[in-house]
């Protein structure tokens, strides 16, 4: 079986004036194409740090990240930028939609960053909005949408460029239970439909249970299982 993403013995330390924090202390991780992984862990355990490294937003202090079997060298900034802009879609706890762009335009931003937007792109974006239950919200600004609706646009945006991998960092953190569950359903649906690898950091045990692999991050290491309840 091919491997989409692999991390070997990842270490990450943050150096401060007076101290060093060793956040990741030898993390091994692998994800096959189209697979889902859920990562749980207490606040401050390094989940975002790990996701940022896997997505090329940050480089590890030591260890290796391999994408499609190719080494993403820590000192090769250009390769990291290419991976994160072409290979990865991100969803964060906060939506980061552009406030002066409509929902439809926000979906087209990732496309526009790479090439001219065509009719097929518009169609794909409108299709996503419809799937998200937002067909009648295409021309709304983020400020005219509810929190759950904003986050649904952000989820669809992550898939627009047909990435190989979507990384979602506590995407339901700001939503109530009903909106969170709905967003979780939509995220899993898009993941299946688009055949995209998905790594999901979540506190929601029910959603974590739907992932094909579950990991728990603690003491700087990733272990199989969902933490206390595993």
Ligand X SMILES: Nc1ncnc2c1ncn2[C@@H]1O[C@H](COP(=O)(O)OP(=O)(O)O)[C@@H](O)[C@H]1O
Provide the minimum distance between the beta carbon of 148 and ligand X in the complex, in angstroms, as a whole number: 22
Q: Does 14 bind ligand X (CB under 6 A)?
A: yes
Q: Does 218 bind ligand X (CB under 6 A)?
A: no
Render the burial of 78-94: b for 16+ CB within 10 Å, e for the rest. Answer: ebbeebbeebbbbbbbe
Provide the minimum distance between the beta carbon of 27 and ligand X in the complex, in angstroms, as a whole number: 12
Of the candidates 159, 172, 174, the residue with the CA atom closest to the CA atom of residue 206 = 172
- The edge-to-edge listing of strands for the beta sheet with 20-31 is 20-31, 5-15, 62-67, 70-71
**Is 183 or 201 the residue whose CB approaches ligand X more closely?**
201
**Which residues contact Mg ion by CB under 5 A?**
47-48
Of the candidates 28, 54, 50, the residue with the CA atom closest to the CA atom of residue 40 = 50
Provide the minimum distance between the beta carbon of 169 and Mg ion in the complex, in angstroms, as a whole number: 6
Angstrom distance (rounded) from CA 171 to CA 115: 28
**Near ligand X by CB under 6 A, which window of 30-38, 46-54, 75-83, 118-126?**
46-54
Binding partner of residue 43 among Mg ion, ligand X, none, CB cut-off 5 to 8 Å per kind:
ligand X
Q: How far is CA 168 from CA 13, 16, 118, 121, 129, in A?
A: 22, 28, 27, 23, 19
Size of the site for ligand X (CB under 6 A): 11
Q: Does 20 bind ligand X (CB under 6 A)?
A: no
Angstrom distance (rounded) from CA 143 to CA 102: 9
Residues 113-152 close enough to bind ligand X by CB under 6 A = none
Selected binder of ligand X within 5, 31, 36, 41 (CB under 6 A): 41
Provide the minimum distance between the beta carbon of 209 and Mg ion in the complex, in angstroms, as a whole number: 20
Binding partner of residue 44 among Mg ion, ligand X, none, CB cut-off 5 to 8 Å per kind:
ligand X
Binding site for ligand X (CB under 6 A): 14, 21, 23, 41, 43-49
């Amino acid at each position: 079986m091919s491997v989409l993403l692999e991390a070997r013995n990842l270490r990450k330390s943050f150096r401060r004036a007076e101290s060093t924090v060793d956040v990741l202390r030898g993390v091994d991780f692998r994800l096959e194409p189209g697979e889902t992984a859920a990562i749980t862990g207490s606040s401050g355990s390094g989940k975002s740090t790990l996701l940022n490294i896997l997505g090329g937003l940050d480089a590890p202090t030591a260890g290796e990240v391999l994408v499609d079997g190719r080494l993403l060298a820590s000192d090769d900034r250009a390769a990291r930028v290419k991976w994160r802009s072409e290979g990865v879609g991100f969803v964060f706890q906060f939506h980061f939609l552009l406030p002066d762009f409509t929902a439809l335009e926000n979906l087209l931003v990732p496309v526009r960053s790479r090439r001219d937007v065509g009719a097929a792109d518009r169609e794909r974006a409108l299709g996503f909005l419809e799937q998200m239950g937002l067909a009648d919200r295409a021309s709304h600004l983020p400020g005219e949408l509810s929190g759950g609706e904003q986050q649904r646009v952000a989820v669809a945006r992550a898939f627009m460029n047909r990435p190989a991998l979507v990384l979602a960092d506590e995407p339901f953190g700001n939503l109530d239970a009903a909106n969170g569950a709905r967003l979780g359903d939509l995220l899993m649906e898009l993941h299946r439909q688009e055949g995209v690898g998905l790594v999901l950091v979540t506190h929601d045990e029910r959603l974590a249970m739907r992932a094909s692999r579950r990991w728990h991050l603690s003491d700087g290491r990733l272990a199989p299982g969902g933490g206390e309840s595993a």
